Amino acid sequence: MLEVIIEDSLSGLRYPVEVSGEAPLWSLVPALVKVLKLPLEDSTGNRLSYRLSLAESGRELPRELSLEEAGVKAGTSLLLRPYVVGPAASGRGPVEDGLHDAVTLVDATALPAVGVLGSPAADGGQQAAGRKRSRRLVLSLLGLTVVGVAGASAGYAAYRSGVLGGWLTMQQRQGRPATTAVPKQTPTPTAAPLPTTARASLVFTQHRQTVRSLAWSPDGKLLASGSLDGQLLIWNTQGQVQHTFTVNGAVRTLAWSPDGTQLALGAGSAVQFLDPYNGTPLTQPLRQHTATVTAVAWAPHGQARLVSTSLDKLAIVWDGKLWRPLQVFRRHTSPLEAASWAADGQTIATASTGGLVRVWRADSDQELHGYYQDGQIALRTLAFAPTGMLLAVGGDDGLIRLWNGLTCQRQQAGAFGTQCVDGPQHLHLHTQPLRTLAWSPDGRLLASAGNDGLLAVWYPTHSQMPLFTVRLGAPILSLQWSADGQTIATAAGNRVTLWQLS
């Protein structure tokens, strides 16, 4: 048996469990999906499949291997990630019953045992030859059902309360009496420590005017910063400038490609692509937009696709190798301010000054579900978590809104088409408009900042209070996490500050 931490990427909750280290992942993963009651379809009816990856590095584990064969050690945090695999078969989910037979899961910290009843040896004498082997039962986890972003913490609290109150039950099968799990008296694997403070390790002051945009290189060695006077600087973490560019218009948005070879930027109404290492423009300014470009964002997983948004109300998906438009999304009726890719690499969310968030497929203009709207508030920033489905959105009222961005439980006719009326979770702190949101690389922590000059770091699936805050002397217009999750860069006034977390 192997003690690990299973992290549900849908809700961010973490469960210490003991699993069979010898079971192949093709049997272990469906059992975990069943026990955690994760959805088997997305909101458009597409089948979802789940895969296990290492939470720290994101490396996916081959499904034909066992945890031991994949080199997983005790105490490792593993992430369950959903993927769209195709249309759902009528009346049938993606998990076959037989896949649950060989898996054993036992909780390690007073949570109920999640496992099987009996064993092949015990049952063998009771089964007639040729009789189909029945599926073993898994304990039902009352109160642990994933209920969406707004209810994740409440669901976990209800689950714990249910265990303490004796609600945990085991279904009876073949005359066996219901029993309760006996918790194992084993140490709880500890999660990575949460930061509680931030220390300024560098203040970069080479810009003459207000810095509007930031981007880290994927290896964490370089940063790019763009200012309102059209100056773009690429510099290392010691503050030494490596390259200087001057473009026409304020550099409002920057994005470094996942493979590190390109830097995309929005300046004026143009999208541009640069080689960040030798200072060579890869294209002329591309002017498919007719108004100011407000956001550029690369797709994850090295797909060489980019999305851009503009005050012209359009979102454009670009081929990052040929530098040409692939798709134009035209369903917004107000200027766009922000865009973000979901972890699946196929889905984009865009936010407008009209207060709408639309979630749509990158290869078409098909929306996954109805639009989100939570008040008549101009929205300025949004960010999908790099793992799972959480979508954070910020606007002029200073509220952070969290939705389960890839699914919708309730839809109805709205003023702008079909509307998803799932209520978001609210995080209250900022007193002025939010300008920037960014998730840590592991998807656990969320950083927020805005016109009130306050930087806040949150653990939103566990608390509605920030882990810590730092007050700067000017509005914070951009922030970015380093690749290792240990440093946050903020742009306030003409300064970029690197904050070391501890």
| pLDDT, tens only, 445-462 | 999 999 999 999 999 988
Residues 6 or more apart whose CB falls under 8 angstroms from that of 431 comprise: 398, 452
Residue given tokens 């304020």 in the structure block:
250
Q: Specify the CATH number for the domain of residue 443.
A: 2.130.10.10
Tell which of 37, 59, 84 closes a domain: 84
Q: Say if residues 369 and 411 touch (Cβ distance below 8 Å).
A: yes
Beta pairing, strands 2-8 & 77-87? parallel
Q: Count the helices and strands in the chain (H runs, E runs).
A: 3, 34
Q: Are residues 204 and 60 in the same domain?
A: no
Domains in the chain, number: 2
Q: Residue 483: inside a domain, yes or no?
A: yes
CA 389 to each of CA 82, 392, 406, 447, 492: distance values in angstroms, whole numbers, following the listed order? 9, 10, 6, 17, 30
Q: Are residues 206 and 346 in the same domain?
A: yes
Q: Residue 39: inside a domain, yes or no?
A: yes
pLDDT in tens, 358-410: 999 999 989 999 999 999 999 999 999 998 899 999 999 999 999 999 999 99
Tell which of 84, 113, 147 closes a domain: 84
Question: From the CB of residue 481, how many other CB atoms can be counted at a distance below 10 Å?
Answer: 22
What is the pLDDT, as a whole number, of residue 486?
96
Q: Residue 302: inside a domain, yes or no?
A: yes
Q: Residue 165: inside a domain, yes or no?
A: no
CA–CA distance, 225 with 215 (Å, rounded to integer): 7
**Between the CA atoms of 466, 467, 471 and 474, what dihedral angle is there, to the nearest 10 degrees?**
-60
pLDDT in tens, 465-478: 999 999 998 999 99
212 pLDDT band (50/70/90 cuts)? very high
Backbone angles phi, psi at 122, to 5 degrees: -70, -35
Token pair recorded at residue 9: 């990427």
Task: Give me the percent of the chain exceeding a pLDDT of 90.
Answer: 59
Residues 6 or more apart whose CB falls under 8 angstroms from that of 144 comprise: 36, 37, 155, 156, 159
Q: Say if residues 217 and 484 touch (Cβ distance below 8 Å).
A: no
What is the pLDDT, as a whole number, of residue 112?
34
The residue with greater pLDDT, 41 or 58, is 41
Q: Residue 282: inside a domain, yes or no?
A: yes
13 pLDDT band (50/70/90 cuts)? low
Q: Are residues 78 and 205 in the same domain?
A: no
Tell which of 56, 84, 112 closes a domain: 84
Whether the pLDDT of residue 182 is over 80: the answer is no
Q: How far is CA 166 from the centre of its chain?
A: 34
What is the pLDDT, as a whole number, of residue 18?
80
Token pair recorded at residue 434: 């939010």
What is the pLDDT, as a whole number, of residue 58?
65
Residues 6 or more apart whose CB falls under 8 angstroms from that of 317 comprise: 305, 306, 307, 325, 326, 327, 328, 329, 348, 362, 363
CA–CA distance, 80 with 53 (Å, rounded to integer): 7
Q: Residue 442: inside a domain, yes or no?
A: yes
142 pLDDT band (50/70/90 cuts)? very low
Q: Are residues 375 and 497 in the same domain?
A: yes
Mean pLDDT of the 43-55 span: 75
Whether the pLDDT of residue 114 is over 80: the answer is no
What is the pLDDT, as a whole number, of residue 385?
97
pLDDT in tens, 317-371: 999 999 999 999 999 999 999 999 999 999 999 999 999 999 999 999 899 999 9
Q: Residue 228: inside a domain, yes or no?
A: yes
What is the pLDDT, as a whole number, of residue 42?
62
CA–CA distance, 72 with 103 (Å, rounded to integer): 17
Whether the pLDDT of residue 121 is over 60: the answer is no
123 pLDDT band (50/70/90 cuts)? very low
Q: Specify the CATH number for the domain of residue 27.
A: 3.10.20.90
Q: Are residues 58 and 207 in the same domain?
A: no
User: Domain range spanning residue 12?
Assistant: 2-84
CA 321 to each of CA 28, 254, 303, 463: distance values in angstroms, whole numbers, following the listed order? 39, 17, 10, 42
Q: Are residues 73 and 217 in the same domain?
A: no
What is the pLDDT, as a whole number, of residue 57?
65
Q: Comparing 162-176, 196-210, 228-242, which segment has the lowest mean pLDDT?
A: 162-176
Q: Comparing 52-66, 118-132, 351-365, which segment has the lowest mean pLDDT?
A: 118-132
The residue with greater pLDDT, 238 or 42, is 238
Residues 6 or more apart whose CB falls under 8 angstroms from that of 151 comprise: none
Q: Residue 130: inside a domain, yes or no?
A: no
Whether the pLDDT of residue 74 is over 50: the answer is yes
Task: Give me the percent of the chain exceeding a pLDDT of 70.
Answer: 75
Q: Are residues 79 and 202 in the same domain?
A: no
Token pair recorded at residue 168: 């945990």
Whether the pLDDT of residue 113 is over 90: the answer is no
Assign 3-state DSSP to the chain and report helix, strand, coil percentages, each to 5.
5, 40, 55
Q: How far is CA 86 from the centre of its chain?
A: 21
Token pair recorded at residue 123: 């049952």
